[in-house]
Structure 1
């Protein structure tokens, strides 16, 4: 059994003169939660729609579960929630899923299993129109779970949810991964990606900027020091970490050094007669990295989603 679920090579989608997705090459591994991160309008949804066989690429190739996107072999083992769930408003949640189950030739028993997994079993008999936005999103995930697919593709699953709904959805995605399913999750919410994703692909203006773990993206930890006099503290920091690893910020001194260097640095500062007010680990946030990678001319969400 291959360890790779999704592979793209130079995947490109052009609408006339507009380049929506530009030469995207990525890999999603079995059993991971892969975060597809980018600003609104970056090309996330267009890429996912190509992987699901809903639209054809202009050029490049993609493989989903060892098959071409949209083929019966690929579709049967993939569940998806893209651009929000669409259900009959006057049918109950359970009956909506039954309609989909019969269309997919999935037994009705799978409906109750899916409702249980998204914590909607006690509300399955209620009309869809009475559901909150969070419940509607969870029912959408339940529909994607019918047939127990190997791969789940979720496009902005927390979009429009209140904070409590976001927490519920993150917990659900984490549970799905624990169940053994591979999840490809698109999002523009950094906290969402940082909390639940194993690896991240960052897309901006249709191009994949990088693909890495969250830890690797954030880079090595740093130390932040606030001490006086600053010039003497700076000299000591350079002796400890090296000239190129130390820089002055508006509010103190930052060193490219792990927190294991903190005790040695603190002792050196005190021995040099420096008044030490603060020393702590200071990691780059995913937000810092994200904006560094995606800063540039704004793109139209209508044009590129």
Structure 2
């Protein structure tokens, strides 16, 4: 996973006086699932469009698979679903994909392969105008997978899917990466990104705030201890974790910057000092918590598209 598939250097896009993307430098490695996150208007989709060669940057550069973005020999190795799929409404699902496959010089067997992968084989003969939003999303992902591209860019691939369909799509994305394909995934469901992405990039106001693994972004786990008397528990825990390593976070609850493996020692220490221990739990920050802290947004569930 050391081979660079995508690299941007100071990528910038300006529309008149508005700076949509501000010097974004990011990397995506082969075989990883990369989560690209940002609130509404952050510049995420604009960045992806420059990466795909759909729009020209004002400054900076983007290279994909070792070549400048937008080159025909690069584009043919990329599959993308950006801001919803576009199809012929009066053709059925299979014929829509056949049309796209024909443009790419692919055989009809390729259409059958991707339809099966997104579980649409049984509905492939239905006219697109009768498809639900979730079915259209599945068909859009199938279209992106035609020809087994080296890089897949998927914008909200689980949009409109029921819980079972979302789970199937997550499994599909993971299996594609395991087979050597690289996936750039945007999703407003941060728990989904946390579950399947290897690394994430967080963009806000056109700037890339952070790029790291999900584990690094979330930070380490802490221990939460509910004990009485609280003042005595606080003093006892500070002797173990240091003055800055313990915080009050609620009624009779203290957060301790120590690993979960230290829980037995903490309990023994408190009991030895005649402190009643009511509860010890492991606390980990979710990706959603980190995202809201970094971007200054406070409304869970806000769509992270731009």
TM-score normalised to structure 1 length: 0.94
Q: Match of 1:226? A: 226
Q: Match of 1:276? A: 277
Tell me the CA shift for residue 132 of structure 1. 1.9
User: What secondary structure sits across from 2:105 in the alignment?
Assistant: coil
User: What secondary structure sits across from 2:45 in the alignment?
Assistant: helix
Question: Are the counterparts in 1 of residues 292 and 298 from structure 2 also a CA contact under 8 Å?
Answer: no
Structure 2 Cα separation of the partners of residues 295 and 183 of structure 1: 27
Structure 2 Cα separation of the partners of residues 22 and 249 of structure 1: 37
Structure 1 Cα separation of the partners of residues 297 and 281 of structure 2: 32
**CA-to-aligned-CA distance 1:183-208 (integer Å, 9 cap, x gap):** 00112321121011010001111110
TM-score normalised to structure 2 length: 0.94
Structure 2 Cα separation of the partners of residues 93 and 165 of structure 1: 18
Structure 1 Cα separation of the partners of residues 283 and 2 of structure 2: 39
Structure 1 Cα separation of the partners of residues 2 and 72 of structure 2: 19
Tell me the CA shift for residue 49 of structure 1. 0.6
Question: Are the counterparts in 1 of residues 134 and 159 from structure 2 also a CA contact under 8 Å?
Answer: no
**CA-to-aligned-CA distance 1:53-99 (integer Å, 9 cap, x gap):** 11011100110011111111111110000110111111111100011
State the 4+ residue runs in structure 1 displaced beyond 4 angstroms.
none
Structure 1 Cα separation of the partners of residues 135 and 209 of structure 2: 34
- Supply the RMSD in Å over aligned alpha carbons: 1.9
User: What secondary structure sits across from 1:263 in the alignment?
Assistant: helix
Gaps of 5+ in 1: none
User: What secondary structure sits across from 1:231 in the alignment?
Assistant: helix
Question: Are the counterparts in 2 of residues 40 and 188 from structure 1 also a CA contact under 8 Å?
Answer: no
Q: Match of 2:238? A: 238
Q: Match of 1:38? A: 38
Structure 2 Cα separation of the partners of residues 244 and 297 of structure 1: 26
Q: Match of 1:142? A: 142
Q: Could you tell which deviates more after superposition, 90-99 or 243-252?
A: 243-252
Tell me the CA shift for residue 276 of structure 1. 0.7
Structure 2 Cα separation of the partners of residues 112 and 161 of structure 1: 21
Q: Match of 1:131? A: 131
Q: Does 1:71 align with 2:67?
A: no
Structure 2 Cα separation of the partners of residues 76 and 271 of structure 1: 68
Q: Could you tell which deviates more after superposition, 283-292 or 171-180?
A: 171-180
